[in-house]
Amino acid sequence: MNRVFATERIHGDRRDWHNLRGMLPFLWEFRGRAALALGCLILAKVANVGVPLILKDIVDAFQHVEAQTLILPFSLLLAYGALKLSASLFNELRDVVFARVRYRAMRRLSTRVLEHLHRLSLRYHLERQSGAISRDLERGTRSVSTIMNYLVFSVMPVVVEFSLVGIIMIGRYSPYFALVTFGTVVVYFAFTFAITEWRMEYRHRMNRLDSEANSQAFDSLMNYETVKYFGNEPMELKRYDGTLEEWEEMAVKSQTSMSLLNFGQGAIIAIGVTGIMALASEGVVSGAMSVGDLVLVNALMLQLFIPLGFLGIVYRQIKYALADMDLVFKLLEREPEIVDRPDAKPLRLSEGGIRFEQVDFHYQPERKILHGLEFAIEPGQKIAVVGHSGAGKSTLARLLFRFYDVTGGRILIDGQDLRDLTQASLRAAIGIVPQDTVLFNDSIRFNLAYGRPGATFQEIERAAEMAHIRAFIESLPDGWETVVGERGLKLSGGEKQRVAIARAILKRPRILIFDEATSSLDSHTEQAIQQTLSEVAEDHTTLVIAHRLSTVVDADRILVMEQGRIREQGTHRALLEAGGHYASMWELQKREGVEALP
């Protein structure tokens, strides 16, 4: 058990140093400012330590004159005030100079994390918990500012001040003064480090439980309607409160152990200061030291040990911040599943022909999704894929966008293997209307323009008109500036789908994918949209993934998929005449009056 704990501690220390080194690139941009801030810090501490020296001279000046000739030592008083003012000035200058460094580092890290999250593959985003990761990222990016703040404003000042006090002690007084001072500091740090390392497990568990509770709350609110449908508010609250109960236990243990730590630190400082004052008092009594020396030693100890007391808190906070930062740096170290090859080239799009050659694919090795899939979509051709849920239809779109790589065979566009192309050029050539349209919590205009951010407003209006949504938008009180709510929840399913269609039109891609593009539309609107989609698809290579067979009767060829294989293919008429699986599905829809497969 002890060996495991020691191993974990060593690995934890290595991670801490690794993460601290990881901060250096964010500081390097403003290395000049950082050096200037360090200079201001040193000057502030030199002035701060000079104050007790001047105070000693003032006390000695009063001690060595007769009462009737007592005069104020104006020069010393002026020096005292100047040093006080200088200490304050250089401290504030340090804050001003370093502010840009600290906040730029936070900005850079936050941007880098978001960039990396966008680089990570679809599999990661399907498995992640949004609530937990948002809390982890919030704590992690804030921890960079925390660590920089403490290092520059707490740790380094104490180190500089401790060095200056040590020089004064060694140069002016008996070695016992330096011995007691340094011994106290060593014991203080050893005690603080040992207890803090012991307490870190509580902090780690608090973080995990805090992220878990936040994720549960986030999920229950995101699924608000589902919770209401089933009346499961008590269950959600019980689940959330159960996690917070565990968090509460860890928080109480953390606070109790912190009180023990604080008391121990206070006791060590009290013993050290008492020892120093005893030595100084003995020196005054024996005549080896003046009253001014006693005042100087007392002032130096106060200046040293008061911030040292805070340094114990700072050390704990730095350890907590390092624990939070570790979450972010581990995320940044996570390699994307899909990456461009070093020699990847942009897609050279000429005609837009697509070919699947003996494509195999699985999400998990034990569950194969596609089995030797072989078909081609000629340039300008419209191919439809139909089949029951789980047949592997939507996987085709994900493979075309290269959210995943095939596990066997290859996919070609104009004769170029997708794995040899840059992902950006590939995705720029493909437009999609997904079945489940998710919108940004912004205006309708923003969501429409997302298809091509550089489009003019006239082009946006035209795309909306072609998608039969312009009249609806202009009828809203706020028109184009209407905010659609989180994930577009203020719009109906049909309205969101028409926004997705308009975005695809605006993008003007060479290859189009319609993934059940009209599933949320009523029959009247669907007929109008089908005509629009047919117009949009002209001269485009088009893949239509459908459940409603009525939406694909005009396809050049229909592929019928079952369990990851193509069972039948042909035109609508030819498949009906063949009397196979497609004909059975067609008759089932007609007989039941349902326009969607089970």
Share of the chain above pLDDT 70, in %: 87
Say whether pLDDT at 257 is over 90: no
User: How confident is the prediction for the chain on average, in pLDDT?
Assistant: 80
Name the more confident of 64 and 248: 248
Cα–Cα dist 202/216, whole Å: 21
Say whether pLDDT at 66 is over 60: no
> What three-state secondary structure class fits 522?
coil
Helix (H) or strand (E) holding 409: strand 408-413
Say whether pLDDT at 3 is over 60: no
- Phi/psi of residue 154, nearest 5 degrees: -130, -55
CA separation, residue 515 to residues 236, 336, 389, 400, 584 (Å): 34, 26, 13, 13, 22
Q: How large is the average pLDDT for residues 357-379?
A: 89
> What pTM does this model have?
0.65
Yes or no: say if 422 and 416 are a contact pair by the CB < 8 Å rule. Answer: no
- Alpha helices (H) in 120-232, listed in sequence order: 122-127, 130-150, 156-172, 175-222, 224-230
Say whether pLDDT at 68 is over 50: no
Task: Give the residue carrying structure tokens 């003046």.
Answer: 290
Say whether pLDDT at 525 is over 70: no
Q: Report residue 330 CA to chain centroid gap.
A: 11
Q: In the prediction, which pLDDT does 72 show? A: 57
Task: Give the residue carrying structure tokens 């959210």.
Answer: 403
Yes or no: say if 101 and 27 are a contact pair by the CB < 8 Å rule. Answer: yes
Predicted confidence (pLDDT) per residue in 26-40, tens digit: 677 777 877 888 788
For residue 254, count other CB atoms closer than 10 A to its CB: 18
Predicted confidence (pLDDT) per residue in 371-427, tens digit: 989 999 998 888 999 988 778 888 898 899 898 899 999 999 999 999 999 998 998
Predicted confidence (pLDDT) per residue in 549-565, tens digit: 878 888 889 999 988 88
Q: In the prediction, which pLDDT does 597 show? A: 38
The confidence band for 522, taking pLDDT boundaries of 50, 70 and 90, is low
Q: In the prediction, which pLDDT does 413 show? A: 92
> Lowest-pLDDT range, 199-213, 377-391, 501-515?
199-213
Say whether pLDDT at 168 is over 80: no
Q: In the prediction, which pLDDT does 399 show? A: 92
Q: How large is the average pLDDT for residues 239-258?
A: 85
What domains are defined for the chain? 13-333 (1.20.1560.10), 341-429+509-598 (3.40.50.300), 436-508 (3.40.50.300)
Cα–Cα dist 114/110, whole Å: 6
Q: How large is the average pLDDT for residues 63-69?
A: 53
Predicted confidence (pLDDT) per residue in 101-159, tens digit: 777 877 888 788 888 888 887 777 777 666 566 766 776 777 777 777 777 777 777 77
Q: In the prediction, which pLDDT does 1 show? A: 40
Name the more confident of 474 and 311: 474
Predicted confidence (pLDDT) per residue in 572-593, tens digit: 999 998 888 888 888 887 776 5
Q: In the prediction, which pLDDT does 12 show? A: 52
Closest CA to 361 of 398, 326, 330: 398
Say whether pLDDT at 327 is over 80: no
Say whether pLDDT at 170 is over 60: yes
DSSP 8-class letter at 336: P
